Amino acid sequence: MKLGKRAEPCKVEETKSPVIAETRREHVTASDPEKVINLSDLRSKSARELLTMAESLNLQNLAGMSKQDLIILIAQNEVADSQTEKVIMSSGVAEVLNEGFAFMRSSVYNYLANQDDIYISPGQVRRLGIRTGDLIYGEVRAPKKGERYFALSKALEINNSPASAARRYVAFESLVPLYPDTPIKLECEKSARPLESKNCDLSGRIIDIVAPLGRGQRALIVAQPKTGKTILLQNIAHSISANYPDIHLIILLIDERPEEVTDMRRSVNAEVVSSTFDEPADKHVYVAEFAIEKAKRLVEQGKHVVILLDSITRLARAYNSVVPSSGKLLSGGVDSNALQKAKRLFGAARNIEGGGSLTIIGTALVDTGSRMDELIYEEFKGTGNSEIILDRKLAEKRLFPAIDITKSGTRKEELLLERSILNKVWVLRRILNQMTDADAIEFIIDKLQRTKNNEEFFLFMDKKVNN
């Protein structure tokens, strides 16, 4: 699959060093970390920090240099000093292009093409079986005269396994999907939460009761404007990162405001991949597809991945802008091919038989005044197996989380809840269904605030019912 634009290959001679030289480099890498230049560390620095670093190395003509130019200049200068014997190491996620070669992309740049990407020759791609989404770590050579990119001279690890003995996994499309049967509990102690908010823990506890999530869930958060979907996503992210360190959490922000991206990066302990509203539609599509490919490679290894996607509506709009016209326009000006591609991406969420899962929790926008948005929601409504509905009327009354209790729910929830808890949830739903939406959420918020956790809440409910 071609994700990026065509890039010009650079001529790279694959390293065939003597065993002694390889041993020396491995010794330097393992025992002398001060002699290792890590490109990932340089990328994580700000442009100002890199400029200060370049000045300390007495480099000249730094005015007007971009961050990528500074990284290349610093790395070239460090390895050019024959007395230091420094080596360049880096990690990145591979993107294999149609021409046969590949590049290691960096999450710092949202996996978009950059000057300091690392070139992988076609021979290395074939020999190591590299695919788009593979995480690669290895020794890197600085660009020579006339070359444009860093080049991978020796791959040490692929997907956290030795490159020389990298396992081959069953392709994601051949894995058997099952209903989610392992719960993802969002309830956690407030002391473990980075955000200090009165209802910070309540949103997770309410979701655990009315729309429980499991590993491999395909969930939709259906939200009207200004109903608190961003805060709800943050709370879900905090809960997952606090409760499940084994889950790789990716927050995928499509067509979002730049300040919201910054806020999400600083407030959530997760990998944030974004494409802001000032980027073209093809960038939105590229970033989303690349994140999904990376997640698939992790799932093939038996790992668990959760993607929080905000939003499916904007992603479908981006697909509608970039896909070739099929001549089949639906209501609102949506091309049928655009919806099919967006559905394929959302449909990647699944619980895998034998281990591994990909969970996607996406937001869908409604009541925006756009006929296109309404159609996108209607098309996606039947594809998810869990729905969390946010109500603007509740948000206007400052009732947060503004979850519509009666309309939210999960298919096959009996696989995620114990039988005793499931019976209590059904009793609670019968009670709440007799109330208005506002009274129902007020009732459950009031009762949950009186208890420390959901277990204590259900014990409290038992006493009330028995009395």
pLDDT at residue 21, as a whole number: 34
- The pTM for the full model equals 0.87
Residue 4 has pLDDT above 60, yes or no: no
Whether 326 shows a pLDDT value over 70: the answer reads: yes
Residue 320 has pLDDT above 80, yes or no: yes
- pLDDT tens digits, one per residue of 220-232: 999 999 898 999 9
pLDDT band at 70 (very low <50, low <70, confident <90, very high): confident
The answer to whether 430 and 440 are in contact (CB under 8 A) is no
Higher pLDDT, residue 466 or 145: 145
Q: What local confidence, expressed as pLDDT, does residue 333 receive?
A: 80
Q: Identify the pLDDT of residue 22.
A: 34
C-alpha–C-alpha distance, residues 245 and 296, integer Å: 19
Residues, the chain, total? 467
Residue 302 has a CB neighbour count (10 Å cut-off) of 12
Helices (H), 47-96: 47-56, 67-80
Tell me the per-residue pLDDT of 249-284, one tens digit each, with 9 for 90 and over.
999 999 999 999 999 999 888 999 999 999 999 999
Which of 153, 111, 103, 148 lies closest to 130 in space, CA to CA? Answer: 103
Domain 31-168 class? Answer: mainly beta
Query: Residue 227 annotated as binding?
Result: yes
pLDDT, one tens digit per residue, over 442-464 is: 999 999 988 889 999 999 888 87
* Residue range 284-304, pLDDT digits in tens: 999 999 999 999 999 999 999
Give mean pLDDT, residues 350-361: 94
Q: Is residue 215 a known part of a binding site?
A: yes
| DSSP one-letter code for 329 | B
Domains in the chain: boundaries: 31-168, 183-466
Tokens found for residue 19: 């065993």
The dihedral region occupied by 372, where left means phi > 0, alpha psi between -120 and 50, and beta the remainder, is: alpha
Establish whether 257 is an annotated binding residue: yes
Q: Consult the annotation and say whether 158 binds a ligand.
A: no
> What pLDDT score was predicted for residue 309?
96
User: Which helix H or strand E contains 234, and what residues bound it?
Assistant: helix 229-243
The reply to whether domains 31-168 and 183-466 share a CATH topology is no
Q: What is the CATH number of domain 183-466?
A: 3.40.50.300
Q: What percent of the chain shows pLDDT beyond 70?
A: 88
Average pLDDT over residues 367-395: 91
Query: Is 196's pLDDT higher than 50?
Result: no
- Is 230 labelled a binding residue? yes
- For residues 92 and 136, is the Cβ–Cβ distance under 8 A? yes
User: Is residue 33 scored above 80 in pLDDT?
Assistant: no
